[in-house]
Structure 1
Amino acid sequence: MSATEGAANMAGSDHPLPDHGQADLVRHSKIPYRKRRNRNHLAEPPRRPNGPPKAAGGPRRRRALEITISLAGLEGLRAKVGAWMNRLGAARVRDDVVLVAHELATNVIRHGGGFGRLRMWRESGRIVCRVSDSGPGMPALVQEPEARRPGGRGLWIARRLAEVQIESGPSGTVVVAAMAI
């Protein structure tokens, strides 16, 4: 018995297969073609000559900026946000975005328990800045700051420069500010 006849008998066929090599064994098997065609679906995508594999699903998206907010890192926050804005090519609104991000991060230090997260990304022609903390929350109504009193203007400034949404509760606060590019 030849190898192809043995393979035919293992597949449950009563007639021998033509001796045309391995390709005929696959073509004549009882496994539907649809299932065989995709057997390499777990293979790695092809590598580019000078870099990582191409991302599936269209052009590569720029990454979001993520920063842990703390008193020690507050000084470097402005530089990181400014550099990220420059990489995006959004220098026209860079200073406003840096100011909003810094003011919201400062509020996390002062009122939100001292630690939090800042995440920024580009979306539909605007920059979105999300700041979260695990502090005690904030009052539902935030009043306009008094002219003679120092401080208390972070959220007021953010609202003047961006669309701001606030979600607050006993387990923390999330502030999302969106600015047109």
Structure 2
Amino acid sequence: MLSPDPHDTGHETRRSYALSPEQLRGIRGEIAETLFAWGYGFVSDDVVLVVSELLTNVYDYTRGACDLILRAQEGRIFITVTDTEMKVPTRIKDPWREGQGWGLAIVDALTDQRLTVITRKGKNVCCSIEAPRDHLPLSATSSRSQPTHPARTG
């Protein structure tokens, strides 16, 4: 599980990676575990997919070195991916026709907004997903497939 920052009023974790395809699989599991531990398991599928698409772009267009920041605060999950490429990622207008370019289309569909900030050393791609805390926290060890309703008696 990724560790939260104990000094933050919400939850935050920061990780640095030198990405490989094998490592991406493990990162997806770590993110899901972390979100469940924070009580945001109900948005874990969307967050994992967004992060996976952003990290895949890093792997495809840079040498794979990046930083990932996840922050849960004020009813949102904030995602920032930092890499060394200074080119702003652009969404392909018609992925159906091109047969590629689904990554940013997926990110844009699942997030409220996406912002790219060019820095002296590369760029930060930032986005957020609404995640209100009106659900009961889910344990990282609880089964996602367990029914949430009481057992029926006959």
Q: Give the TM-score normalised by the residue count of structure 2.
A: 0.69
Q: Deviations over 1:103-142 (max 9, x none)?
A: 1111111113321011101121100010010124236x53
Q: Is the 2:55–2:81 Cα contact (8 Å) retained in structure 1?
A: yes
1:73 maps onto 2:73 in alignment: no
1:155 maps onto 2:104 in alignment: yes
**Higher-strand-fraction structure:** 2
The residue type paired with residue 109 of structure 1 is Y
Shift of 1:87: 0.6
Q: Which residue of 1 aligns with 2:68?
A: 118
Number of equivalences: 123
Q: Which residue of 2 aligns with 1:94?
A: 44
Q: What's the secondary structure of 1:147's corresponding residue?
A: helix
1:176 maps onto 2:126 in alignment: yes
Distance 1:148 1:170 in 2: 35
Decide which structure has the larger Cα Rg and report it.
1
Q: RMSD across aligned C-alpha pairs, in angstroms?
A: 2.4
Q: Give the TM-score normalised by the residue count of structure 1.
A: 0.60
1:104 maps onto 2:54 in alignment: yes
1:129 maps onto 2:76 in alignment: no
Greater RCO, 1 or 2 (C-alpha within 8 Å, sep 6+): 2
Structure 2 counterparts to residues 131-146 of structure 1, below 5 A: 131-138=81-88, 141-146=90-95
Shift of 1:62: 5.0
Distance 1:114 1:145 in 2: 26
The residue type paired with residue 138 of structure 1 is V
Runs (5+) with no aligned partner, structure 1: 1-54
* Percentage of matched positions with identical amino acids: 26
Distance 1:145 1:65 in 2: 35
Runs of 4+ with >6 A deviation: none
Moved more, 126-135 or 148-157: 148-157
Moved more, 75-84 or 105-114: 105-114
